[in-house]
Structure 1
Amino acid sequence: MLRNFLYMSLLVLYSTVLCAENHQKIPVDEEFKSAIKYVEKKQFFEAYQIFSSLAELEIPEAQFNLALLYSNGLGTPKNFRLALYWSWQAHLNDHETAIEQVNKTYELINENLRNSVAETTIEELVASAQAGDRAAPLKLGKTYLGLFVEAQNQPAYLWLSISQAYGEERASALLEEAASQMTLEEVLAQQEEAQKSFNDMIKKN
């Protein structure tokens, strides 16, 4: 049974990587192609090294495949925390199937670990947003609503308000989702906090 499970995991890994090669959103460079070849040869450590570097560059295909390596313990020790972290990063960067891997990883961990990954992600994204990254507020809203065990609607509302102010159309529906779970007083308070945070970031950047 274990052998069959591992075999199926490898099939998923291979097919995902090979499909990523033809993904239209991200130009595939020579490094990514090299990682694919390493996977085909079962040289997972070499593939892990390349995917790790590319994942730090916000390439969602690399982030997703790095998550699979962590999930399966290939090229690196099995680590469900990092598997969740990188699959969520891929999801935030619009990888089409990363959310499925996120949901699979939820079944392998406890609530404390899930919240810990969410908190780590939030800390990184807040720093990016404050440094002027206009994509970060939407990612913060998504993370507050979707990665924590219990949705954090008030901070989600704050950051989605900022995202919408930057012109991100996708923020609107999420903003409504957060607002629907808040009292009027909470909405008004977060609007003031959002305005203050927005003004501070504008001044800094």
Structure 2
Amino acid sequence: MNKTLMISALSACLLSYGFAHADNHGDNIATSDETFMEAVEAAKSGNYIHAFTLFEMQAEAAQHDAQFNLALLLKSGRGTPQHYHDALKWAWLAHLGGIEKAQMLAEEIVDILPEDTVENVRIAIAERLKERIDNGDKRAITQYARYFREILYDPDYEQSYLWYSIASAVGIDGSQEARDEAASYLEPEVMIALQEEARTTYYGLSFGK
């Protein structure tokens, strides 16, 4: 998809901005462009319940543009009662998936929530990303690596380095540079130990065998 549409929580207007999803959208109803556009049209016409249902289905299938739109609906309470916990979850997942404006939305929601709720969302995101990796979804590896640097309250450069190392091993674009940047925060002996751990972890995953 060359264009993705987002819903403004304040104006309920649909806006567009460029974002590539060439490897994400397919013929499956949960990942197809047709389903996404049906949700967009539903929101445009004021049928937020239908829009929410479709965006939720696509969000669960790791479609990051849909995750962002779902977060906006949850934050604004359109098509579903307001739910800041889930709005933050989907906003952060959209951010990790490359939706640039999702980070600003996430920051707005974080300012509303108590810290223990925010921490619960962090845990839920980590579990979701790790499950995707365990199920063989390579796209989740760099998102998991970014999670340790960008979502945790205190960045964990060790885990970020480990997962960027695995991402680099499977050939994900940009992961080598990100791995080396994370390494700059580590002591040499820590990095060597993490390399051993990364190799063990890699060969324990379905795509490392």
TM-score range, shorter chain: 0.7 to 0.9
| Aligned equivalents of 1:14, 1:82: Cα separation in 2 | 21
Of residues 142, 148, 153, the one that matches 2:146 is 142
Shift of 1:140: 0.8
1:179 aligns with 2:178: no
Aligned to 2:13: 14
Cα gap change, 1:39 to 1:89, in 2 (>3 Å): same
Looking at secondary structure, tell me which structure has more helix per residue.
Answer: 1
Shift of 1:14: 1.5
| Aligned equivalents of 2:207, 2:74: Cα separation in 1 | 40
Moved more, 146-155 or 194-203: 194-203
The two structures have a TM-score, normalised by structure 2, of 0.81
Alignment check: 8 A CA contact 1:114 1:147 kept: no
Contiguous gaps of at least 5 residues in structure 1 = 1-7
SS at the partner of 2:138?
coil
Alignment check: 8 A CA contact 2:135 2:206 kept: no
The two structures have a TM-score, normalised by structure 1, of 0.82
Cα gap change, 1:176 to 1:104, in 2 (>3 Å): farther
Q: Deviations over 1:144-198 (max 9, x none)?
A: 1111111122111111110011112322333233223322222111111001111
Alignment check: 8 A CA contact 1:114 1:149 kept: no
Alignment check: 8 A CA contact 2:49 2:78 kept: yes
Aligned to 1:198: 202
| Aligned equivalents of 1:56, 1:203: Cα separation in 2 | 22
Percentage of identical aligned residues: 28
Q: How is 1:28-67 mapped onto 2 (pairs within 5 angstroms)?
A: 29-67=33-71
Cα gap change, 1:169 to 1:45, in 2 (>3 Å): same
Cα gap change, 1:108 to 1:142, in 2 (>3 Å): same
Looking at secondary structure, tell me which structure has more strand per residue.
Answer: 2
Q: How is 1:85-164 mapped onto 2 (pairs within 5 angstroms)?
A: 85-164=89-168
| Aligned equivalents of 1:47, 1:178: Cα separation in 2 | 39
Cα gap change, 1:58 to 1:131, in 2 (>3 Å): closer
| Aligned equivalents of 1:96, 1:35: Cα separation in 2 | 21
Contiguous gaps of at least 5 residues in structure 2 = 1-7, 26-31
Aligned to 1:5: none
**How many aligned residue pairs are there?**
194
The CA RMSD over aligned residues, in Å, is 2.4
